[in-house]
Amino acid sequence: METKMTKKNILYFACSWFSTQEKEFMEKGQQALKQNPTVDWENTFRPLEHQYHNIDVSQHPEALADPAWQMGTFRNDLFGIDCADFVCGLFLPKKPDSGMAFEYGYAYATHTPIVSVIPDDDQSEINLMLLPSVTRYLYLSELATFDFNQIEFDLFSATAF
């Protein structure tokens, strides 16, 4: 039996990947999570790796107009959240993503704890509905060493909009 110190948690890895800035932030977050001893990276649900019928929309953007692909990808993502110990979102407050906002809302409604990771130098305002829904905010530099086994709600000092 694993102790709290050695338990590896399965995450739902939420992030935006539509711009160069988002992709760079995603890569930094992935590297940090791979180093984190309390994260089961191998079994972490990464939505980009679970698109319906393995269709890569960056290679096949026409799939975005396909209702079957939309529903399949949506349902796979919800299943990923349902099976996760935590949602870990890489959140850029200056570029909020409506899909990630939905994922946070769904996780909150299903009592799945949310860890939201923001850039170290970001002091931006955060949407009022997102700010208190998150269990714990972290800066990217904290992610590799954050103990997901010792999580508690923590107020985050940010201005809401």
pLDDT at 56: 86
pLDDT at 14: 97
pLDDT at 124: 92
Round the average pLDDT of the chain to a whole number and report it.
Answer: 93
The whole-number average pLDDT for the span 30-56 is 94
Q: Are 114 and 104 in contact (CB under 8 A)?
A: yes
Write out the DSSP string of 78-91.
HHHHHH-SEEEEE-
pLDDT tens track for 79-120: 999 999 999 999 999 888 999 999 999 999 999 999 999 999
The whole-number average pLDDT for the span 148-159 is 93
Angstrom distances, CA of residue 60 to CA of 4, 37, 67, 70, 98: 43, 36, 14, 13, 22
Question: Is the pLDDT reported for residue 75 higher than 60?
Answer: yes
The CATH number of domain 11-46+84-149 is 3.40.50.450:
yes
Identify whether 125 is a catalytic site residue. Answer: no
Helix (H) or strand (E) holding 12: strand 11-15
CA distance 66 to 97: 21
Question: Is the pLDDT reported for residue 70 higher than 90?
Answer: yes
Give the HSE-up count for residue 77: Cα atoms under 13 Å, Cβ half-sphere: 20
Of the residues 2, 22, 62, 103, only one is catalytic, namely 103
pLDDT at 40: 98
User: What confidence tier does 18 reach under pLDDT thresholds 50, 70, 90?
Assistant: confident
The whole-number average pLDDT for the span 18-45 is 96
The closest of 17, 6, 72, 15 to 45, measured between CA atoms, is: 15
Q: Within its chain, how far is the Cα of 93 from the centroid? A: 13
Q: Are 133 and 114 in contact (CB under 8 A)?
A: yes
User: What confidence tier does 2 reach under pLDDT thresholds 50, 70, 90?
Assistant: low
